[in-house]
Structure 1
């Protein structure tokens, strides 16, 4: 159980292909018995290197995913360019509701070309 959710990471884009559009995805699952996710949506954020772009941020309600299989929750996307070479950061968080939640499993984060 958690009251304060904060899952974050960083990735160096130096080996990504220039001119390719990428998406950053959190792979998650909510167990059948998951609870506490109906109070406040979870926020996702993607920050590009050196502030080259405005951070991409949005909210997602997890209620509809309870009891489903693994799902992909997009944190954001970006076009790989010389300006975007460096470290990106991404996060899935919720700090405001101050209620206990349970049943969230985070498998990982995938950075993949978007077709």
Structure 2
């Protein structure tokens, strides 16, 4: 893994973890979505992003998000290396099959 990608992933998870630790899921969501996009092809890290999204949903009392993330975790473990919809934010209200546009920065990190 390229050092820039590793650093970006570490930063996203650190920021998300800190936001969740202070029970501020709104602050965590942008970092969780970033972590999700950057780790989509890495089964364990991809699953970790969904686990943290589940926790954020729980903190918000958003049970649709919790259920959606619970269903996405096994899929992340099983299918991350086979196929992922590039750029998908990972949120439960977005189709798990919908590709989404990437910023130039994200594209460069993932190349």
Taking structure 2 as the reference length, the TM-score comes to 0.28
Query: Normalized per residue, which structure has more strand?
Result: 1
Taking structure 1 as the reference length, the TM-score comes to 0.28
Structure having the higher Rg? 1
Query: Normalized per residue, which structure has more helix?
Result: 2
